[in-house]
């Protein structure tokens, strides 16, 4: 959004504005607004070129990346000390720049529809310098590794002041021929910062730092925010190489989209006004209308905002025009157009290895007999490359060659699948590869023809395990190991499985080999004895009672009743045999039989008169038990009563085992006025006269018969209750009857009156 050029020069530094944030997204200072006056001059001068399409079609920008490390070995990636980032990570960042600046990044599909027509593609190509400032060929294109110790610099991390005042002047390559990028550990949580394009001898007042100079021009990127692999992987949300995209945007002359003020201008018409920096990952549309003139929401996905790496994915067309204007006119930008440091010195055949892509640095590879590496081959020369010869080995031993055939255009690269190569075993190894004889000729610059990669072969999938076993003395166990091609047991056996018969608990181990890797495993065979002293009590109980069975002599117990445990409680109704199973070690089981005697309860009966005449004495007799108690008083089988009132006597009968039953004996009292008492004192007949039931009590009667006066034997219904006989005379007519009793073979007759 364009605005008048009368705004005051903004002088604060954003790194102070967001000092409380642990990460400073960008420490680039603010571009003076006076710069826009200069830009207007350049624009007027180039209007015809820009409008007429005669402007530089593609800007080629040679890049040199200065890796500031702390004497770490090449390829070491160490976020704390600075690290010596590998070539793959550096190339990854250059690829990200080329995609982002040319609209080739995969996440352009996320651009909101309203912004899609504004998407700017810069036509800028970042290329890797292949020669150094003195014309020497770089061993690694685009990479300048600097050990800070040999440069005499302090230990990392570095402040921006130290980088600007000490590191940059000592390490910068001619900024008129190289785009300088420094990668190092920085203090203060700073992800990166850039210098703006030098205005040259414009003669304008008010133009001052932070323009790039011959000792400072370029961008500085935190070593963990460079590229999207290696050290960057764990640095989310700044892990996709967009810190460099943002800083290179400044280096080309772009401002932050909020114009570094509240709803200020970035001097691009197609970036909607934005209130301030946006962080994290705002959902579009965001802050629509917060700034006057904003009708679409803010363009938080512009690379020149402060959002997360995954949430910025576009430049605009006006940003492109601005960049092209600056690339064409700023002295240290325009001169890059004619820089030739990305080109090999004139030669027909020049080949090099950019890096080894497989295995990756320090990769851990599960146990395998061989690896199948891949290398990235580059043609630096003028001829299309059709043949070359690779040589390779592991650990410098047994070098082999491989004839490559292809069609690699000048200045292009290709991934080459190398022959698989045997790995000598577990541990760290180094894969060495070189390339020779481009198109059958001699390579003039051998410095970039070699590469190597460390990797580690792990035991990986070679996991061996053995089953454990528990056996009884005299038995055997089968131990099985799987997954290898060769087995050696501590018993000396060399088969996948073995059968062992130890007499005591014993440890076994196996050492296995497969594909040159090895693994081992241990196991234990536990040996147990059968329970030899298994025993249990044999209880006797009364019917209806509980019995407790207590087992001993084993580790665990189960019972034929289905119960488990050393002690169980049972409630049997009859005597019977139980089986106790005792087990040691879960495998060795013995059993014993247990008899449980169940005694039936005594069946007690009692005899005695149910009607007792006053002043009578009677003997009550009980049967069916061994001991008796009468109303809780111990006694014999007989009991003498002489009651004066009706009552009940509770008789408890006990067996020899102590099983008991009770029975009640009840009696009524009578004055006996209607009782016919016989001369024989043990015979009583009552009532007489009788209405229905005639009762006859006697201890010993042979027979009872009833006759009519006419002598007819009437045989009335008769029921016996021990010593009591009851005749039912209800159906007989009233009158006189004759009762005939026989006792001791003598007949006794009584007259009975039926009422």
Catalytic residue of the set 29, 36, 140, 247: 247
Distance CA 622, CA 276 (A): 113
Which C-beta is closer to Zn ion: that of 26 or that of 326?
A: 26
Helix (H) or strand (E) holding 329: helix 317-329
Site for Zn ion (CB under 5 A): which residue of 1, 18, 26, 443? 26
* 577 DSSP β-pair partners: 595
Of 259 and 602, which CB lies nearer to Zn ion in the complex structure?
A: 259
Q: What is the DSSP string of 289-346?
A: TTSTT--S---TTBTTS---GGG--BEEHHHHHHHHHHHHHSHHHHGGGG--TTS-SS
Check residue 341 and report its DSSP letter.
T
Among candidate residues 167, 185, 233, 193, the one with its CA nearest the CA of residue 24: 193
Judged by beta carbon, residue 126 or residue 306, the one nearer Zn ion is 306
Q: Which of 24, 28, 302, 413 binds Zn ion (CB under 5 A)?
A: 28
Find the part of the chain contacting Zn ion (CB under 5 A) among 28-36, 469-477, 501-509, 726-734. Answer: 28-36
| Number of chain positions touching Zn ion (CB under 5 A) | 2
* Dist CA 558 CA 580 (whole Å): 6
CB proximity list for 681: less than 8 A, separation 6 or greater: none
Measured from each CB, the residue nearest to Zn ion is: 26
Cα separation of 555 and 289, whole Å?
A: 82
Tokens representing residue 720 in the block: 């016996």
Query: Segment contacting Zn ion (CB under 5 A): 18-26, 50-58, 276-284, 554-562?
Result: 18-26
Location of structure tokens 């960042």: 93
Q: CB–CB of 426/517 below 8 Å? A: yes
| Rounded CA separation 567/187 (Å) | 74
Nearer to Zn ion, 307 or 448 (CB): 307
Residues 198, 204: contact at Cβ < 8 Å? no
User: How distant, in Å, are the alpha carbons of 133, 326, 368 from that of 251?
Assistant: 21, 10, 48
Least distance to Zn ion, CB of residue 192, Å? 8
Strand partners, 315: 120
Element (H, E) at 97: helix 87-101
Least distance to Zn ion from the beta carbon of 25, Å? 7
Nearer to Zn ion, 210 or 609 (CB): 210
Local structure of residue 164 (DSSP, 8 states): I
**∠ CA 487-492-493 to the nearest 5 degrees?**
55
- Count, residues in the chain: 755
Q: Phi then psi for 597, rounded to 5 degrees?
A: -90, 130
Least distance from Zn ion to the Cβ atom of residue 220, Å: 12
For 536-555, give one letter per residue: b (16+ CB within 10 A) or e: beebebbeeeebebebebbe
- Please state the closest distance from residue 284 (CB atom) to Zn ion, in A: 21
Q: Which is nearer to Zn ion, 10 or 714 (CB)?
A: 10
What contacts 38, CB < 8 A, 6 or more positions away? 199, 202, 204, 207
Of 599, 557, 555, the C-alpha closest to 578 is: 557
Long-range contacts of 681-688 (CB under 8 A, 24+ apart): 683/741, 683/743, 683/748, 684/609, 685/739, 685/750, 685/752, 686/611, 688/750, 688/752, 688/753
Site for Zn ion contains 222 (CB under 5 A): no
DSSP conformational letter for 138: P
Percentages of the chain per state (helix, strand, coil), in multiples of 5: 15, 35, 50
**Cβ closest to Zn ion, residue 146 vs residue 274:** 274
- Non-local CB neighbours of 446 within 8 Å, separated by 6+ positions: none
Q: How far is the CB of 164 from Zn ion (least distance, A)?
A: 16
Q: How far is the CB of 256 from Zn ion (least distance, A)?
A: 6
Q: CB 324 → Zn ion: shortest distance, Å? A: 20
Cis peptide before 413 (omega within 30 of 0): no
Select the span of 24-32, 87-95, 158-166, 481-489 touching Zn ion (CB under 5 A): 24-32
Q: Least separation, in Å, of the C-beta of 305 and Zn ion?
A: 9
Peptide bond into 237 cis (omega under 30): yes
- Closest to Zn ion by CB, 28 or 180: 28
For 150, 311, 413, 538, the CA distances from 133, given in Å and listed in that order, are: 20, 38, 24, 106
Query: C-beta of 283: minimal distance to Zn ion in Å?
Result: 23
The minimum distance between CB 254 and Zn ion, in angstroms, equals: 9
State the minimum distance, in angstroms, from the CB of residue 172 to Zn ion: 21
Stretch that binds Zn ion, among 27-35, 99-107, 137-145, 379-387 (CB under 5 A): 27-35
By beta-carbon proximity to Zn ion, the closer residue of 28 and 46 is 28
**Beta-bridge mates of residue 456:** 364, 428
User: Catalytic: 247?
Assistant: yes
Of 25 and 148, the one with the shorter C-beta distance to Zn ion is 25
Residue 562 backbone class (left: φ over 0; alpha: ψ -120 to 50; beta: rest): left
- CA gap 148, 176 in Å, rounded: 25
Shortest Cβ 186–Zn ion spacing (Å): 15
- Yes or no: say if 192 and 97 are a contact pair by the CB < 8 Å rule: no
Radius of gyration of the chain (CA): 57
Choice between 255 and 333, CB closer to Zn ion:
255
Segment interacting with Zn ion, rule: CB under 5 A, options 21-29, 66-74, 438-446, 477-485: 21-29
Restricted to residues 518-577, the positions that interact with Zn ion (CB under 5 A) are none
Interface region with Zn ion, contact rule CB under 5 A, candidates 22-30, 181-189, 367-375, 613-621:
22-30
Work out how close the CB of 246 gets to Zn ion at its nearest, in angstroms, rounded to a whole number.
Answer: 5
CB-based contact 726:717 (threshold 8 Å):
no
Task: State whether residue 535 is helix, strand or coil.
Answer: strand
Task: Considering the complex, state which of residue 26 and residue 301 has its C-beta at the smaller distance from Zn ion.
Answer: 26
Closest CA to 57 of 329, 318, 328: 328
* Closer Cβ to Zn ion, 195 or 294, answer by number: 195
For residue 36, the surrounding DSSP H or E stretch is helix 35-52
Give the residue numbers marked as catalytic. 247
Residues that bind Zn ion (CB under 5 A): 26, 28
């Amino acid at each position: 959004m364009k605005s008048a050029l009368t705004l005051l020069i903004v002088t604060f530094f954003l790194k102070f504005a967001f000092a409380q944030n642990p990460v400073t997204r960008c420490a680039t200072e603010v571009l003076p607004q006076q710069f826009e006056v200069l830009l207007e001059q350049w624009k007027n001068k180039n209007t015809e070129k820009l409008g007429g399409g005669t402007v530089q079609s593609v800007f080629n920008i040679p890049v040199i990346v200065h890796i500031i490390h702390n004497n770490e070995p090449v390829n070491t990636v160490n976020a704390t000390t600075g690290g010596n980032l590998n070539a793959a990570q550096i190339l990854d960042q250059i690829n990200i720049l080329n995609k982002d600046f040319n609209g080739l990044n995969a996440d352009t599909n996320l651009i909101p529809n309203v912004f899609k027509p504004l998407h700017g593609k810069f036509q800028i190509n970042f290329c890797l310098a292949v020669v150094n400032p003195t014309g020497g060929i770089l061993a690694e294109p685009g990479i300048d590794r600097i050990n800070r110790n040999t440069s005499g610099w302090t230990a990392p991390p570095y402040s921006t002041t130290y980088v600007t005042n000490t590191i940059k002047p000592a390490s910068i390559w001619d900024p008129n021929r190289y785009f300088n990028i420094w990668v190092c550990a920085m203090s203060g949580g700073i992800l990166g910062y850039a210098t703006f394009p030098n205005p040259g001898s414009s003669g304008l007042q008010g133009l001052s730092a932070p323009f790039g100079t011959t000792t400072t021009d370029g961008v500085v990127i935190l070593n963990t925010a460079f590229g999207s692999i290696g050290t960057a992987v764990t640095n989310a949300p700044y892990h996709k190489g967009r810190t460099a995209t943002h800083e290179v945007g400044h280096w080309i002359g772009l401002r932050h989209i909020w114009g570094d003020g509240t709803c200020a201008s970035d001097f691009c018409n197609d970036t909607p006004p934005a209130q301030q920096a946006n962080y994290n990952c705002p959902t579009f549309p965001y802050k629509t209308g917060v700034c006057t003139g904003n009708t679409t929401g803010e363009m938080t996905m512009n690379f020149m905002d402060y959002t997360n790496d995954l949430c910025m994915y576009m430049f605009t067309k006006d940003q492109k025009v601005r960049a092209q204007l600056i690339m064409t006119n700023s002295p240290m930008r325009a001169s890059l157009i004619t820089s030739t440091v990305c080109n090999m010195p004139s030669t027909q055949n020049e080949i090099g290895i950019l890096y080894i892509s497989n295995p990756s640095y320090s990769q851990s590879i599960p146990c395998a007999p061989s690896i199948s590496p891949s290398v990235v081959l580059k043609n630096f020369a003028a001829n299309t490359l059709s043949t070359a010869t690779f040589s390779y080995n592991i650990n410098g031993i047994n070098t082999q060659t491989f004839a490559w055939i292809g069609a690699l255009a000048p200045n292009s690269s290709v991934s080459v699948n190398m022959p698989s190569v045997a790995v000598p075993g577990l541990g760290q190894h180094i894969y060495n590869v070189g390339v020779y004889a481009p198109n059958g000729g001699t390579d003039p610059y051998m410095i970039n023809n070699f590469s190597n990669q460390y990797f580690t072969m792990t035991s990986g999938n070679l996991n061996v395990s053995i089953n454990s076993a528990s056996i009884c003395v005299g038995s055997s166990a089968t131990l099985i190991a799987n997954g290898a091609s060769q087995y050696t047991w501590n018993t000396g056996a060399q088969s996948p499985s073995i059968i062992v018969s130890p007499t005591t608990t014993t440890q076994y181990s196996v050492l296995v080999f497969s594909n040159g890797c090895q693994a081992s495993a241990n196991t234990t065979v536990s040996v147990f004895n059968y329970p030899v002293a298994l025993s249990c009590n044999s209880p006797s109980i009364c019917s209806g009672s509980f019995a407790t069975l207590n087992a001993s002599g084993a580790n665990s117990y189960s019972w034929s009743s289905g119960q488990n445990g050393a002690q169980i409680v049972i409630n049997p109704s009859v005597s019977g045999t139980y089986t106790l199973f005792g087990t040691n070690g879960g495998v060795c089981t013995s059993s014993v039989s247990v008899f449980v005697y169940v005694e039936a309860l005594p069946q007690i009966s009692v005899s005695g008169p149910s009607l007792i005449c006053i002043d009578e004495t009677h003997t009550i007799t009980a049967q069916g038990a061994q001991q008796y108690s009468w109303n809780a008083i111990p006694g014999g089988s007989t009991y003498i009563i002489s009651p004066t009132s009706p009552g009940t006597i509770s008789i408890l009968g006990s067996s020899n085992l102590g099983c008991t039953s009770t029975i009640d004996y009840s009696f009524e009292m009578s004055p006996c006025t209607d009782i016919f008492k016989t001369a024989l004192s043990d015979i009583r007949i009552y009532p007489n006269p009788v209405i229905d039931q005639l009762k006859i009590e006697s201890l010993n009667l042979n027979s009872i018969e009833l006759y009519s006066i006419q002598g007819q034997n009437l045989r009335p219904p008769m029921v016996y209750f021990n010593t009591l006989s009851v005749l039912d005379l209800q159906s007989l007519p009233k009158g006189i009857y004759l009762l005939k009793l026989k006792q001791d073979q003598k007949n006794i007759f009584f007259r009975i009156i039926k009422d």
